[in-house]
Structure 1
């Protein structure tokens, strides 16, 4: 299951066209006009909950299943208040079955029946008091994973940027009557820069900050034209790893990740470590892959994010957790430290995922004694840890 690509190469790259000056001036005007209304958006609730994977899969041949309403009730009953829904935008386009190559014209063929299905999932979650964050896991011209073939590059071409704004304008209009306490908009999952967006094996670098700002700013304008108080979330640069200082004055929440070190969170995951020879035994704390890891190293890793919080910028951890092969005792020790660092600094979190091989239900771990929970296999130790934070 190629959920994501392991991003190792840090640095800067040069991206091409930015959003036009007219759009940026409109953004500035709207921001100034509504500054008194939206300045408080950085002071976000400490949302805690889960991702659901109904619509995120980038494989055009994948047919997902809807999260049953009962699971949202479980989430609320357990004391959580947040659901993140990553969506691959082709899942709601009018495409032929199995169509992998997307044309520029296809990007605008939004299927209302399919978006209504996504909306119904959102409403089912909100029925139980859960805040829902709608995320484009695949956006026009970019996805951190493989799958569909994009017609252009979000970080280089205005055509892609215009399409990106169009999609966010569509979703904001669809939910413009929904309370801002119930919904937020997470612009694009784990941004990074590749010269060829359709080749995830090519060198990956950070999106130039000025480019990211332009793209995020234009989408935020489209969203806040519908409701100036909508929460907008931007994932950290370089796959969610790095805070984005260029966004600091845009009243946009920033989203980090809880996967460091990958030697623990993605132990034996073939899409992250394709070389079976590189499989250091997970330990916590201890040495892995030639580096020493401990709670102190995690505190240093998250310091830039904590510094954002201290500056009054909202921060949330949009994804965190570990794959099924990570030894459970190591997982609990490591994850407890990660969550303690985040939550003690006012940063909420969303486990990847509610149900599945990273999840709290049906994770298929070999070293967990599951509790039967209405037909699901519940990892009670993981639930108790999450509830304690």
Structure 2
């Protein structure tokens, strides 16, 4: 049997459990969801880190209690867990589930409660879509019904698994960084996933990444209750992703390091704090005016950016988010964007509990 035919067979078999999720046209009136309270959503100012233990299925590990202890000990209150469904399932069999891996995610949820950290479960890779997939996938979440049914299957699984855990402790983040596509296509997928979750757990807080890779609000969701939209803190990419190969941007690789600064003039245009405001804050005004809330699910600066430049830029970005009363999550805790073992060549690290700590960056985070 061909893989696509196999998936279609499984999709049909699961249709009973996913009744109502296969609509080809979905609008605000398609779901029996209550209207959002005009006062918006009350939640603490969440600040913390992305933990990547289930981000790469080839190198996945159990979540570390030490990470939760460190984050809480520093005074933060939030962890975002970007999850690849390949960690507990597979591209060849979307409906396969590895219970052992799911129990490791259960443990992370428990650790969040133990250490007073809100846990946000984010599907970074879903059937039919991932922002950083090296090769085109055989199906498209935003075009095809089969991967959308499978994605609903996995979110329903999580909704059932964590039903009863209050939204003060746990939230769901539907899809990481949807591509730049027609609003109607993203709205359809988001609504189906929200409906699938809310059929099981009507009160679950849901975070929806903004459209256009998390940079713009999805304004069609103004009627949906109990959601937060997630933005990004990476603008401009020349600073945040200097020398990073995966975006595929020539300027990131070719721009002379000795000319990199913050603020920066590029092609006659001044990139400064005001420019970051126009790119990363101003687009969300319309959503906020409708009573919507914003959280910055990812932000940070790659380790090839000279540290003084990175720190100057981060200070401006954090000051803007603080003015908006927005929380944020640094990508990541350990590694290229983090404060631990980040591999920067121009940082005087502090030996800290077995790690190399960028103390200057950590202290900035703590006051931001």
State the distance in 2 between where 1:78 and 1:340 align: 19
The corresponding residue for 1:277 is: 254
Q: Could you tell me which residue of structure 2 aligns to residue 91 of structure 1?
A: 87
Query: How many residues end up aligned between the 2 structures?
Result: 343
Q: Structure 1: where are the runs of 5+ without partners?
A: 1-17, 96-101, 193-205
Tell me what 2:219 maps to: 245
In structure 2, the CA distance between the partners of 1:23 and 1:177, relative to structure 1 (3 Å rule), is: farther
Shift of 1:311: 2.8
TM-score for both structures, normalised by structure 1: 0.82
2:5 match: none
Q: 1:135 to 1:39 in 2, by over 3 A?
A: farther
The answer as to whether partners of 1:258 and 1:317 remain within 8 angstroms in 2 is: yes
The question of whether the paired residues in 1 share the 8 Å contact of 2:38 and 2:291 is answered with no
Contact 2:348-2:358 at 8 Å conserved across structures: yes
1:367 equivalent in structure 2: 346
Q: 1:39 to 1:66 in 2, by over 3 A?
A: farther
Question: What does the per-residue CA deviation read over 1:228-255, in whole Å, with 9 as the maximum and x for residues that have no partner?
Answer: 2211111111211222112222232111
| Larger mean Cα displacement after TM superposition, 74-83 or 264-273 | 264-273
Indicate conservation of the 8 Å contact 2:171/2:207, yes or no: yes
Q: CA deviation at 1:292?
A: 1.3
Contact 1:19 1:215 in 2 (8 A): no
CA contact (8 A) 1:370 1:380 kept: yes
- Aligned-partner Cα distance in 2 for 1:146–1:210: 23
Tell me how far apart the structure 2 counterparts of residues 309 and 41 of structure 1 sit (CA, whole Å): 9
The residue correspondences of 1:316-355 to structure 2 (distance < 5 A) are 316-355=295-334
Map 1:184-203 to 2 at 5 A: 184-192=171-179
In 1, Cα distance between the equivalents of 2:287 and 2:136? Answer: 35
Alpha-carbon displacement from aligned partner over 1:329-363 (angstroms, at most 9, x marks no partner): 11111111111111211210000001111101110
Say if 2:43 and 2:168, in contact at 8 Å, map to a contact too.
no
Work out whether residues 263 and 288 of structure 1, in 8 Å CA contact, stay in contact via their aligned partners in 2.
no
1:224–1:243: structure 2 CA closer, same or farther, 3 Å change rule?
A: same
Q: Kindly report structure 1 stretches of 4+ aligned residues shifted beyond 4 Å.
A: 21-27, 38-41
Match of 1:286 among 260, 264, 270: 264
Cα separation, partners in 2 of 1:223 and 1:39, compared to 1, 3 Å = farther
Other-structure match for 2:14: none
Residue 213 of structure 1 is matched in structure 2 by: 187
In structure 1, C-alpha distance between the alignment counterparts of 2:249 and 2:314, rounded to whole Å: 24
Contact 2:26 2:188 (8 Å CA) reproduced: no
- What is the distance in 2 between the residues matched to 1:26 and 1:169? 21
- The worse-fitting range, judged by mean Cα deviation, of 275-284 and 162-171 is 275-284
Task: Please state if 1:295 is matched with 2:278.
Answer: no
Give yes or no for contact 1:50–1:84 (8 Å, CA) kept in 2. Answer: yes
Larger RCO (alpha carbons 8 Å, 6+ apart) = 1
Residue in 1 aligned with 2:113? 126
Q: Is the 8 A contact 1:43 1:313 kept in 2?
A: no
Q: Say what the alpha-carbon RMSD is for the aligned residues.
A: 2.2
Change (3 A) 1:268 1:23: closer
* Conserved? CA contact 1:46–1:348, under 8 Å: yes
Q: Find the aligned partners of 2:233 and 2:175 in 1 and give their Cα distance.
A: 17
Distance 1:20 1:158, change over 3 A: same
CA contact (8 A) 1:24 1:218 kept: no
Which residue of structure 2 lines up, in the alignment, with residue 66 of structure 1? 62
| Cα distance per residue 1:141-182 (max 9 Å; x no partner) | 100112587441100011111111111111111100211111
